[in-house]
Structure formats: structure tokens, C-alpha cells
Structure 1
Amino acid sequence: MLDVLLLIVLMAAIAIGYGLGYRQASRRASFNARSSYQTPRREYFVGLNYLLNEQPDEAIHTFIQALEVNSENVDTHIALGKLFRTRGEADKAARIHQNLLARPALSPQQNEQVQLELARDFIALGVHDRAQRLLRGIIETPQQDAQRISAKHLLVDLLEREKAWQEALDILLPVLKQQPRMARPAAHWLCEIAQQEIQQSSRSLAKRHLKKALQLDSACARAYLLLAELEIDNGHHYPAIAHLRALAQHAPAHIPSMLPTLERAYWLGNDIDDYRQHLSSLVEQAPLTSVIIRLSEQIRQQDGVEEAIRITGNLLARAPSLGGLDHLIDLYIESQQLEGRTQPDERLLLLKHHTRALLNNRTRHRCGHCGFSCDTLEWQCPSCRRWGTIEPVTGVEGE
């Protein structure tokens, strides 16, 4: 890190030296030949001395003092400000950028560029209101250049952090065609709004926002789940099941997440046979552990333990998993109890002890982007802050 820092400062020093040399060259036109040997300002050599002695902080401060602001070296000042911010010294970066804004030498484009960097400084410092004012000022004009697009991204990110979902949508939706990757976050913001409306008993508005979320992102499992739960609360189990079928089709990784809602829907309609058939079709589509276990439970209740053991064993031969094995051991223990054994086979109990210990230590959900793991499903990753990237873990130790 220090080598990179010294390289950046060295480049800044070269730029300063060039600027000082250029200024002196212009002065030579009005001086005699002897004055052409005039040396650069003392601060330049002091800064180089700090740099050679591996004192980058002192070198940076000295170069800033030596480098006067003009239209040709604004980028150098901005680069130094960025350097301070990346090192966690956003207060120093803000002072550099505020000093730039106070100079009349900036062109309108440079002025907006410095405002954008100053907004980043304020965000890093946690001064969000001042950052918002700067960013809103940049995006006021209809022109869509790189700086305004960057300002919109920063403002949307800031509003998202503050959970101002509707304000973020108002800025993003008009330019969503140019930013298709933002469709997934926008869909989740609509889900956030819908959940607030459900809490306020505005169910019709919530349903409208959830359907709009699916228009933006057809794979938004969260929207399907919320729609299904709304239908169940209204006593409509068939529409709820239809939403869950769509979820399984568009977001199969979240089939485990929908199973409790699916069971509620079928129990509401008293369609136990259809529920078992639905589980069987899900197993064929995605032989996940939680689906296998729920199907096994239905078979046990309807056809007995031995049939559940047979079918569960066959399914686990196709898709082995630790959770499935743990459930199968439970079935064997129950079978022995039904046969009249007062104490199950000790070998089964030992296996049960080991599988349970392993299951208690497993990772249940993981972010597909950064690898963050958690026990409960989070719709926004707390680590990388991406939406919809956390899914149930699959494989032998997972689903």
C-alpha cells in the first residue's frame, strides 16, 4: 500500500514540477538570460525530500502548498483529494475540494466534477444532507453526461441507505432503460414500500406495487411470496398457489423459502392430496432437502412410516444430503418404536447425535456475490448491500 501511495505522490510531484517549470518558462520571456537560471520554489524541493524519506503525508501537504490552483492542475488537486479519501481521511479530502470550489479558475465542467468529489467526501464523513444538496444540484439539468449519471447513482445509493424508497425510485425509474442492472434493486424497493402499506392495511396498494416489482424483475421471489401471503390472508388459496408456482418457475433457488407459505395455502383449501402431489412435482423439478422432508412427512402421515422410509431412501439416493439423512434416521427410530422397542438402536442414536451436531454448525444462506453467510434469509446482503443475492445453500450440507 505504501509503495502505491509513494508512486501516486511521486506522480503528483512530477506534475507540480512541470507546472512550476512551465510558469518559470513563461516568465523568462520578460527577464534577461541570467534570470532563466531561477530555481523552482523551495516547497517543491522540501516535498521531494519528504518523499525520498518515505514521509508521504508531509510530502502531500507540502505539494498542495506549492501547487497553485489553475485550470491546468485541477485534476492533480482532485487526485490528491481522492487519495486522502481512500486512505480514510475524508476530512482532508473535503478541505481540498472546498478550496477548489472557492477558486474562480474552474470551468463549469470542472466545478461539477469537484462538487461530485466533495459529495463523495461528505458521504464518507456521514454528512448526508450536504451530500444530497450537492448531488441534486448536479442532476437538475436534463443533460445526461457521465458526471450526472454518476451523481444519480450516488444519490440513489444515499437514498437507499436512508430507506427513502420512493425518492430513490423517482430518480431511477426514468433512466432504468439505460441502467437495466438496477431493475432488481428497484423491484425490492417496491417490495419495501408494499410491506409498509401492508402494515398500514393498504393491501390493494401493496398488491399494485408488488405486481410492478414483478414487471421490473420477473425473478423477484420476494414479490411472489408477498403476493401469495396477501391472497392467503384474504382467504384465496388458489391464487396464492399460482403465485408460488410462478416463484418455483422463475426463482427455483428460493423453493425452500416458499414451502411454509405453500403448506398454509393448501391447508386453507383443505387440499391435502393436492399438496402431496405438488410436493412430488417440486421434488422432480428440484430435489432439495426441505422438499424431500416435507414430502416424506406427508407420506408418513398418509401411508405410514415404512412407506416414508422407502420413498425417502430412494430420493436421497438421487440427491444425498445431511439434512435428509438426519430425517431418515428419525424415521428409522420411529419405526423401531412402533415395533415395540422401548429403546432405539444405540447406533441410530449415535448417528443422530453426529448429524444433528453437523447440522447445527452449517451455513443456511449465502450471498452469491460476496459469500456472506447467515442463518435467516436476508433480501439485501448486509455485507455487499446487493439485493436478492442471498439464497439457501444447496449441496450435501444444504438443500
Structure 2
Amino acid sequence: MNELLLLAAFTCAVALGWYFSRLSLFSRKKHSVNNQLNKDYFTGLSYLLNDQQDQAIETFMRVLEINPETIDTHIAMGNLYRSKGDTEKAIRIHQNLFARPSLSQELTQRVQLELARDFFAAGLYDRAERLLQELNDSVSSDIRLNSHLLLLRIYEQEKEWQKAINTGSSNLLKDQPDSRKSLAHYYCEQAEQEIQQQHLTQARKLLKQALYYDPGCIRANWIAADLEFRNHNLRKGRSILLRIPEQDPSFYSLILPRLNGIISNKEMHRILDQAIEAFPSRTAVALKTDLLQMELNNDAALGYLEALSDKQKLHSPFMVARELRYISSPLAPGLHKSRLDGLLNRLNTYESLQHNLRCLSCGFKSHQSELWQCPKCRSWGTIRPDDRLN
């Protein structure tokens, strides 16, 4: 993709350069200047065809005059360096543009935004922040919006949650759905900090704020339930925890292990049946069959698995492994049991390699049990349990 962008930028640069060289020829009659331009552009093309991208960019940048008609090409060149990880060259190109007094205010602010992106990519957050704050009064609403979004990323990196809240709740962002989701998580981050300092009343207020901005914020209820469990308020914690599958039934996979052991077996059966009906997962089926085996026997667990497989058309390796477990465990030690155990171990190994979580936005997969921001696309609240049976 970068190569295609690079080729497009170079093509644009060549076309513009050729045009301005011809213009120079006709207006000034300077044939020697035109010939030098032609030579430079053919040199640049030669570098490009020989996959010497850096030399090609430098050649085109040297001969391409900076003016309103060519500014997009110069910006694109700097962005390409940044996308390749060469932030030093990107900064140099964009700083050179930023220092040009001949550019209009809007063009200068566009360059300023790109320079802030360069600093962000280089990890120079303070310098990026200063440039972005100066864009609050930008003549372009698009530049203001993008500067606010980049400021949020800086504050997230630095864990400056109050600054993130102030920026996210600005008139420019507060009514956008994604921004409200992010705000909810900023309040959750603050709540977790307050809990660490034993400021529980303040933490509860912050969690209410999170749910105000995003009623679907699962994390807020997750933290609130954990807070009650820590304070031995089991009934209230259980009540809050059961709000989560109402927000998203896939989260049964995370709440069921927390409920197991703190509620009666009868109630656990009822909740497990609800979970399997709403979101049949490996977690729910494993807990259900283990409970049946413990209360009754292997035959009861095996019968349940067989009936569930027929009803829901579930033929995953996990279901086979569970059935084999209950078939093989009563057998006397011997050759057949050894073979069954070997097969069971291989199937269980296969299941253990399956991902527990998946990002709905970019598809990122993880084995972690709790993950509120996607490490890949940086989206908040898009990670979901990924152990559904099929």
C-alpha cells in the first residue's frame, strides 16, 4: 500500500514539475533551467524504477517548488516518510513548510497538524501537544476535529485522564458516539485510580458518570461489581454483574466464572441455561456439564452434551473433547482408556489455543481475560469474548 501511495505522489510530483518547468520556459525563455528540470525528473524516475525510494523522494523534493499548487505533494512526501518510520525526515520536511511565510493561514495550519503527527509518531508528546492546542482556533473545522482526536491519543498515552475528559467533552466531540464511549472509559480509568487510593465513594460517582455517557459501558458495571465483591457485598455485586449480559450476552463467558461458587447450584443452573440459550459458549457448557457431573454422574453430563449437540447442531472439537471426557473417565486403566485420554488431550490442546477475545473493529485476537482498549486499533470497548460454539 505504501508503494502505491509513493508512486502516486511521485507521479503527481513529476506532472507538477513538468508543468512548472514548461511554464518557466514559456514565460522566461530559460532553456537551461528547463533542461536541468527535465534531467532531475528523469533522475528521480530512474531512482524510483530501481526501487531507490529515498533517493527518488529527495530528488523530487529538491526540484519541486513550494507553492499552494504543490503543497499537497510536499505534505504527502513527509507523510510517506512518517509511515515508513522515518520521523526525522518527516519532521524536517514539514518544519520546512511550516516556516514558509508565503503560505495561507489554512495551509500553514494543515502543515502544523502534520508536524504534530510527526512529533506524536516520534514520541515527542509535549511538542505535539503544544502545536495541537494552537489549532483550537483553526479556520477549518476538519483541522480542529483532527487536532482534538490526536490530543486524545496523547492524553491516553500519558494517562492524563482529566485532560482527556476535558477534550472529549468539548462541543466538537461530545455528541459523537465513539467519543462518548471513550469518555466512559476515561471515567473508568479515573475510578480505578480512586479505588487504588481507597476513595470508594468518589469511584462510584465516576462509574455513574461513565454509564451516563455510555449506558452500554460494560467496564463500568464490571468495576462496580468488583468493588462490591471486595467489600463483601456479594448480593449487590451479583446484581450488578448480571446487568452485563443484558448489555451484551457474549459477556456471559466472563461473568459466569465469577458467579460460580458464590451463588447456589440451583441458581447457577438457571443462569447457565440462560447463558447457553443466549450465547452458547465453551465456558458456559463446561461449567454446566461439570456441575451436572458433580451433582449427579458422568452419564448425566454426557447425556446433556449429546442432547445439546443435537439441539444446537454443535459439532466443535470442544464438544467432542467434553463427551470423550465423560466416556473415558469410568473406564478401567488399559489400552482403550490410554488412547481415549491421548485423543482428549490433543482436543483440549486445540481448544486451549483458541482466542478468548476478539476486537469487533479490527479483528485483533487475544488470550487476556479483560481488555478494554484494543492494542492494535486503539478503539475503546470493542473487545468481546470469542468462545462461542458453532
CA positional deviation for 1:172: 0.9
Aligned residue runs from structure 1 range 34-49, under 5 A: 36=29, 38-41=31-34, 43-49=36-42
Q: 2:143, 2:325 → 1: CA distance?
A: 62
**Residues 278 and 53 (structure 1), Cα distance of their counterparts in 2 relative to 1, 3 Å cut:** closer
Q: 1:159 aligns with which of 155, 178, 195?
A: 155
**Residues 115 and 317 (structure 1), Cα distance of their counterparts in 2 relative to 1, 3 Å cut:** same
State the secondary structure of the residue aligned to 1:391. Answer: strand
| Other-structure match for 1:331 | 326
CA positional deviation for 1:94: 1.4
Is the counterpart of residue 186 in structure 1 residue 183 in structure 2? yes
Alignment deviations for residues 139-163 of structure 1 (CA, whole Å, 9 cap, x no partner): 2x28661111111111111222222
* Paired positions, count: 380
CA positional deviation for 1:131: 1.0
Is the counterpart of residue 385 in structure 1 residue 378 in structure 2? yes
Contact 1:293 1:324 in 2 (8 A): no
Q: 2:91, 2:380 → 1: CA distance?
A: 31
| Other-structure match for 1:282 | 275
Is the counterpart of residue 211 in structure 1 residue 208 in structure 2? yes
Aligned residue runs from structure 1 range 90-169, under 5 A: 90-139=87-136, 141=137, 145-169=141-165
CA positional deviation for 1:299: 3.0
Larger mean CA deviation between 346-355 and 158-167 belongs to: 346-355
State the secondary structure of the residue aligned to 1:371. Answer: coil
CA positional deviation for 1:222: 2.2
Percent identical: 32
| Other-structure match for 2:349 | 357
CA positional deviation for 1:110: 1.5
Q: Give the letter aligned to residue 82 of structure 2.
A: R
- Cα RMSD (Å) of the superposition? 2.9
CA positional deviation for 1:59: 4.3
| Other-structure match for 2:11 | 10
| Other-structure match for 1:30 | none
Output the TM-score relative to the length of structure 1: 0.83
**Residues 365 and 71 (structure 1), Cα distance of their counterparts in 2 relative to 1, 3 Å cut:** closer
Larger Rg: 1
Larger mean CA deviation between 342-351 and 254-263 belongs to: 342-351
Alignment deviations for residues 185-209 of structure 1 (CA, whole Å, 9 cap, x no partner): 3322322222222111122222222
Alignment deviations for residues 285-318 of structure 1 (CA, whole Å, 9 cap, x no partner): 3332221222233333334444333334322433
* Unaligned segments of structure 2, at least 5 residues: none
| Other-structure match for 1:239 | 236
Larger mean CA deviation between 229-238 and 69-78 belongs to: 69-78
CA positional deviation for 1:390: 2.8
Q: 1:322 aligns with which of 314, 317, 323?
A: 317
| Other-structure match for 2:245 | 248
Q: Give the letter aligned to residue 376 of structure 2.
A: S
State the secondary structure of the residue aligned to 1:176. Answer: coil
Output the TM-score relative to the length of structure 2: 0.85
**Residues 203 and 54 (structure 1), Cα distance of their counterparts in 2 relative to 1, 3 Å cut:** same
Q: 2:275, 2:57 → 1: CA distance?
A: 63
Moved beyond 6 Å, runs of 4+: none
Is the counterpart of residue 374 in structure 1 residue 366 in structure 2? yes
Q: 2:55, 2:350 → 1: CA distance?
A: 55
Q: Give the letter aligned to residue 331 of structure 1.
A: Y
Q: 1:199, 1:177 → 2: CA distance?
A: 28
Contact 2:22 2:34 in 1 (8 A): no
Q: 1:231, 1:144 → 2: CA distance?
A: 48
Aligned residue runs from structure 1 range 290-329, under 5 A: 290-319=283-312, 320=314, 321-329=316-324
Contact 1:46 1:62 in 2 (8 A): no
Q: 2:325, 2:71 → 1: CA distance?
A: 71
Q: 1:209, 1:191 → 2: CA distance?
A: 7
Q: 2:43 aligns with which of 50, 69, 90?
A: 50
